[in-house]
């Protein structure tokens, strides 16, 4: 074993014109989350506790698309989803369609620890949250002024907006015809902007135990009831005795490729190391989709890869290495 390692992300796909202040704000949040994770690892918390702790912090800060600050549905409400997985026995929990749970990742953890199931959604998940006494808030808590404005843009464009905080050239005021000319597609249908901001964390502790967690509000102007890759074990999140993986990007492409599980699979069956595995799945498994991956291995390796213009990310290892980046 090579010691502990941690990686965190705030989403793959970054507007190349993203204001410098926004970049620095994102870097500070990622660095703060790394510091929280590092402190927990130095205190000997197991990997599964650390990923939950870090993702809770990301959900509480409105900067990225999870928890407070989540993207809005076509009806102007928030529907959140999250998953968590503990590598040693491949235990997992996932939730979707949450509207009042302050920290979705912690409800996913409770599904894993307190139920015989792996996945609860919508009314059933909300009812379970109430029985467990988790912190509940009004749906308005999750809605920010920026998101209300971006939903308006999305509706004017008759399109889904991925980066709902930074409108890119051509986003504001375009009509249906312009949206249909977009070269970027999801499930064969055009979209106007590609820049999702899902959050996630992967950790290997000093005992070599891997864990992963992912949380999101989904897509701006999404259909009510839409479920993306983030809560789907093997797609947006995966952990085993070998590796922990969290993904972000075009959810439908990640689902089709079972992207997170593929990282583990090519390590197991092709004998690739962690970075080679991440690079392999980004290059060969996405079928022209756009995504990013962070991963750790039981040996203390950490890796990331993406085929988007950027990815909000940070990583650190026990030997003192630490890096935060956007591009």
Strands of 199-204's sheet in order across: 119-121, 91-98, 80-86, 210-216, 199-204, 5-12, 311-317, 322-325
First to last CA, the chain: 30
Beta-bridge mates of residue 306:
292
Contact 71, 217 (CB under 8 A): yes
CA angle (61 as vertex; 58, 65 as ends), nearest 5: 70
Of these residues, 73, 144, 171, 198, which one is catalytic?
Answer: 198
Annotated catalytic residue 198? yes
Q: Which residues are catalytically annotated?
A: 198
């Amino acid at each position: 074993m090579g010691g502990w390692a941690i990686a965190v992300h705030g989403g793959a796909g970054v507007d190349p014109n993203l204001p410098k202040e926004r970049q620095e704000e994102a870097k500070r949040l990622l660095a703060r989350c790394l510091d929280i994770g590092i402190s927990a690892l130095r205190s000997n918390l197991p990997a599964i506790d650390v990923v939950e702790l870090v993702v809770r912090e990301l959900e509480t800060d409105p900067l990225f698309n999870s928890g407070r600050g989540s993207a809005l549905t076509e009806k102007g409400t928030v529907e959140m989803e999250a998953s968590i997985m503990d590598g040693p026995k491949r235990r997992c929990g996932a939730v979707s369609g949450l509207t009042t749970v302050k920290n979705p990742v912690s409800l996913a953890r409770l599904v894993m620890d307190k139920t015989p199931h792996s996945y609860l959604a919508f009314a059933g998940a909300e009812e379970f949250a109430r029985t467990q006494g988790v912190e509940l808030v009004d749906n308005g808590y999750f809605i920010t002024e920026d998101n209300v404005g971006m939903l308006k843009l999305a509706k004017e464009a008759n399109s889904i907006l991925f980066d709902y905080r930074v409108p890119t050239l051509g986003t504001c005021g375009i009509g249906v015809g312009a949206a249909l000319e977009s070269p970027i597609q999801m499930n064969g249908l055009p979209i106007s902007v590609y820049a999702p901001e899902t959050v996630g964390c992967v950790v290997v502790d000093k005992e070599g135990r891997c864990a992963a967690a992912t949380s999101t509000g989904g897509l701006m102007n999404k259909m009510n009831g839409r479920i993306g890759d983030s809560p789907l074990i093997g797609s947006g999140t995966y952990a085993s005795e070998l590796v922990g993986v969290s993904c972000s990007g075009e959810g439908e492409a990640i689902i089709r490729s079972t992207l997170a599980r593929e990282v583990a699979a090519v390590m197991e069956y092709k004998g690739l190391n962690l970075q080679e595995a991440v690079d392999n799945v980004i290059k060969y498994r996405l079928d022209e989709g756009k995504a990013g991956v962070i991963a750790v291995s039981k040996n203390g390796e950490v890796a990331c890869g993406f085929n988007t213009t950027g990815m909000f990310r940070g990583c650190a290892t026990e030997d003192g290495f630490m890096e935060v980046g956007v591009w």
